[in-house]
Structure 1
Amino acid sequence: MTLTTTAQDVLDLLLTRSSVRAFTAEEVPAPLVTQALGTAVRAPTSFNFQPYSFIVVRDRKLAAELADVAGGQPHIRQAPVLVMVCAEVARVGRYCGLVPDADGGAPHDLLLSCVVDASLAGMCAALAAESLGLGTVMVGGVRNQPTRVRELLGIPEGVHVLFALCMGWPAERPAVRPRLDADLSVHADRYDGARAERAARYDTRTLRKPGGPVTAREADAWRQEVAKGVSRARRLFTDG
């Protein structure tokens, strides 16, 4: 199959993208941000709910406070633009006339649909920004203190920040990080438990980076990073 230049560009963007955590001081023009977010709203969405909103943060003091919430991550302070990606659960519930559960939360499938759709829109925003030459990184640490984030951004109940998308001109382009061999994540017709078991090793036999397998040291560092991340137990959208 012969690919058009446009198709190859899209594939190259997906295959070579990496999270940028160092930005120059150059400002990002508002039209570029508008273009990226305007593209993002074309993301797939269940029943055309479009249960998301974006809060564009340029205020440096506010960005610094959000960085503190996220554990002091320096790229949040440094990025010229932060886009807070939010799931609009309450809005969709009102449109549909749904009554919250007894514990005050949204019906589980509605909540899941909103989170999925907002995440898809956030990913589209990141890819659109990167296609324009910007660097991005997604930061889930802004969920560390939901109450504080609500106060800082004036967010009402029923709207949940999923992650911050840092945008800016990259000061450097990090190397592409390892991923599982695609063959271990793709099943044919039925779930393959043996394949999943091999994938769970996360070692030199299963992790890949451009150019070939990873080293034993790289695989060990990757496992430690994953273990650290999943050990941070949090209640969903609460401070508990």
Structure 2
Amino acid sequence: MNETIRTILDHRSIRSYLDKPLTDEQTAAIVQSAQAASTSSYVQAYTIIGIKDPVKKERLAELAGGQAYVAKNGHFFIFCLDLHRLELAAQLEGTLDSRTLQSLQSVETFMVGVVDASLAAQNAAIAAESMGLGVCYIGGIRNKLGRVTELLQTPDRVIPLFGMSVGYPKNRSDKKPRLPMSHIYHEDVYKQSTEELRDELHQYNRVISEYYAARTGGERKDRWTESMAKLLQNPKRLFMKALLGEKKLPLE
């Protein structure tokens, strides 16, 4: 096993950081690593916004649901889907017509941007962790996404997808056990045995329950399927489709 794989396998979310900002060199290395990620058809349909202003960090922490580590970290990155740049490219080439607009508003182009941003972010995370830094992805910035877009002054066709806090770990959290590889990795076709999948979930439930019990002194014994069932009982961010339309990202 090489050092890169060890870094990847040692990943855990870090939510407590020392009061020490990243250097400009560290920030540049993380962003350049993000840019080195694969991108569909070379479109590079994402933008990264780095937040250094402590007041803006505090506001983002509030909008994300009171997550302190959005405000207290070495640097906060926000990864955005960005189709505004593609629109400008079409304007420069004189091809901003109905066909181009159809492409900009298609589900496929939207998915390309989401995938591009996600690949870039994971490169950034691995780069940061290779420096001994900790990271935590922040989906909570979508809780009040309209206000986040106003705060960041993102133009039409640009939408913040998630944040990433990065910094020097104050405390290293435990690694959460992942689903068994046999549940995630199928060969040639999707595994058809529902009974087998259920058996694996029962086994995973026991692993997760024991993990939480050990971590909390027996106060918490959640099963994974229990947590997911509760999650699905509370539909989230149902405003998203309307907001995308307002940002000129209606999906067709």
Could you say which TM-score interval applies, normalised by the shorter chain? 0.7 to 0.9
Give the equivalent residue in structure 2 for 1:206: 204
**Distance of aligned partners of 1:65 and 1:136 in 2 relative to their CA distance in 1, 3 Å threshold:** same
2:101 maps to what in 1? 99
1:32 to 26, 29, 32: 26
Contact 1:22 1:75 in 2 (8 A): yes
Q: Could you tell me how far 1:157 is from its partner in structure 2? A: 1.3
Q: 1:153-164 maps to which residues of 2 (within 5 A)?
A: 153-164=152-163
One-letter code aligned to 1:233: K
The superposition leaves residues 174-233 of structure 1 with CA deviations (integer Å, 9 ceiling, x where unpaired) of: 111021000111111111122686169644x1369xxxx444574725444434544342
Find the aligned partners of 1:196 and 1:60 in 2 and give their Cα distance.
51
Change (3 A) 1:196 1:166: farther
How many residues end up aligned between the 2 structures? 226
1:82 pairs with 68, 76, 82, which one? 76
> 2:13 matched to 1:19?
yes
1:217 to 1:16, Cα distance in 2 relative to 1, 3 A? closer
Task: Give the gaps of 5 or more residues in structure 2.
Answer: 91-95, 213-220, 245-252
CA distance in 1, matches of 2:109, 2:69: 33
Mapped to 2, the partners of 1:224 and 1:162 lie a distance apart of 27
Determine which structure has more spread, i.e. the larger CA radius of gyration: 2
Q: Is the 1:146–1:238 Cα contact (8 Å) retained in structure 2? A: no
Distance 1:116 1:167 in 2: 21
Code of the residue aligned with 1:65 in structure 2: it is R
Higher helix share: 2
Structure-1-length-normalised TM-score: 0.84
Pair 9,55 (structure 1): closer, same or farther in 2 beyond 3 Å: same
Question: 2:113 is matched by which residue type in structure 1?
Answer: C
Show the 5 A alignment for 1:43-62. Answer: 43-62=37-56
TM-score, L = length of structure 2: 0.81
Q: For residues 70 and 221 of structure 1, what CA distance do their matches in structure 2 show?
A: 26
CA distance change for structure 1 residues 189 and 112 in 2, over 3 Å: closer, same or farther? same
1:152 and 2:144 are equivalent in the alignment: no
Greater alpha carbon shift after TM alignment, 14-23 vs 85-94: 85-94
Answer whether contact 2:205 2:225 (CA < 8 A) is retained: no
Q: Specify every segment of 5 or more residues in structure 1 that has no aligned partner in the other structure, as ranges.
A: none
**Counterpart contact for 2:20–2:73, Cα < 8 Å:** no
CA displacement at 1:144 relative to structure 2: 1.2
- Native 8 Å contact 2:63 2:141 kept in 1: yes
Q: What's the CA shift string for 1:95-124, capped at 9, x where partnerless?
A: 3542148xxx72110001110111110111
Query: CA-to-partner distance for each residue in 1:109-164, whole Å, 9 max, x for gaps?
Result: 00011101111101111111111111100000101112211111111111010101
